[in-house]
């Protein structure tokens, strides 16, 4: 993925935004949707900069609820205000919810076949790859200062190795990161 070009003047319509989120939600399996959002809104359509996107991703992960729903609302609001937020929410939630009910019925009928397990394992591997791609993009944009890198390392160790509950990790590391960044920016003004 290369650097995105400058943002074009033409913004999407509410319907177009809904359909983009619906398409992403309907064609993504097992996670990794933030990677699809990055590709769609930053690299292909140039409606957001990479920095704007990563700011929205960080905010959506810090808020309660499903991260990808939060990010869809944030992107929609960023592009079209409250109408975009509603389009983002409805597009990422409703079409996939209907299809998951239909697919759930189908997969429960097909669960005994080995091919079903292979298909689901393949979808999971693809989702992990998309998530890893998103993580690498975020780490590349991490400020090359000691404190952000230290917070990143401590957060990784807490969650991945020590299995500290995510809520406590987010509350402590997030509060610490925001507080330290606020102090740093205050000194530069």
CA atoms within 13 Å, Cβ hemisphere of 168:
7
- Picking from 122, 141, 160, the residue at the C-terminal end of a domain is 141
92 and 75 within one domain: yes
Residue 173 lies in domain:
144-189
Q: Would you state the pLDDT for residue 185?
A: 79
Q: Would you state the pLDDT for residue 1?
A: 47
Q: Would you state the pLDDT for residue 130?
A: 79
> Strand (E) positions, the chain?
none
148 and 135 within one domain: no
108 and 167 within one domain: no
With 0-12 CB in 10 A as exposed, 13-18 as middle and 19+ as buried, what is 61? middle
Spell out a b/e string for 18-45, using b for 16 or more CB atoms within 10 Å of the CB, else e.
bebbbebbeebbbbbbbbbbbbbbbbeb
Low-confidence spans in the chain with pLDDT less than 70: 1-9, 29-31, 189
Q: Would you state the pLDDT for residue 8?
A: 58
88 and 17 within one domain: yes
81 and 66 within one domain: yes
163 and 88 within one domain: no
61 and 127 within one domain: yes
159 and 137 within one domain: no
75 and 156 within one domain: no
The answer to whether the CB of 71 falls within 8 A of the CB of 60 is: yes
Q: Which two tokens stand for residue 175?
A: 């509060």
Q: Would you state the pLDDT for residue 85?
A: 97
95 and 183 within one domain: no
Number of domains in the chain: 2
Q: Would you state the pLDDT for residue 74?
A: 97
Whether the full predicted model's pTM is greater than 0.85, yes or no, is no
- Compute the distance between CA of residue 172 and CA of residue 155 in angstroms, rounded to an integer: 9
25 and 99 within one domain: yes
102 and 66 within one domain: yes
DSSP letters along 67-95, please? HHHHHHHHHHHHHHHHHHHHHHHHHHHHH
Spell out a b/e string for 83-106, using b for 16 or more CB atoms within 10 Å of the CB, else e.
ebbbbbbbbbbebbeeeeeeeeee
CA atoms within 13 Å, Cβ hemisphere of 97:
7
The continuous run of DSSP H or E covering 153 comes out as: helix 146-156
Number of neighbouring beta carbons within 10 Å of residue 57? 22
- Compute the distance between CA of residue 7 and CA of residue 177 in angstroms, rounded to an integer: 29
């Amino acid at each position: 993925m290369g650097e995105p070009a400058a943002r074009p003047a033409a913004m999407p319509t509410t319907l177009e935004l809904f359909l983009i989120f619906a398409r992403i939600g309907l064609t993504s399996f097992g996670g990794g949707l933030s990677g699809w959002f990055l590709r769609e809104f930053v690299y292909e359509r140039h409606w957001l900069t990479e920095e704007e996107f990563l700011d929205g991703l960080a905010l959506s992960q810090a808020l309660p609820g499903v991260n990808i729903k939060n990010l869809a609302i944030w992107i929609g609001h960023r592009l079209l205000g409250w109408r975009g937020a509603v389009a983002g929410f409805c597009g990422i939630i409703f079409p996939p919810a209907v299809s998951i009910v239909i697919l759930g019925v189908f997969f429960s009928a097909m669960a005994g076949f080995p091919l079903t397990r292979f298909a689901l394992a393949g979808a999971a591997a693809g989702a992990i790859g998309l998530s890893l791609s998103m993580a690498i993009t975020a780490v590349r944009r991490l400020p090359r200062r000691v404190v952000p890198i230290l917070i990143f390392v401590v957060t990784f160790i807490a969650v991945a190795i020590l299995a500290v509950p995510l809520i406590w990790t987010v509350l402590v590391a997030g509060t610490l990161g925001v507080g330290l960044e606020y102090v740093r920016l205050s000194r530069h003004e």
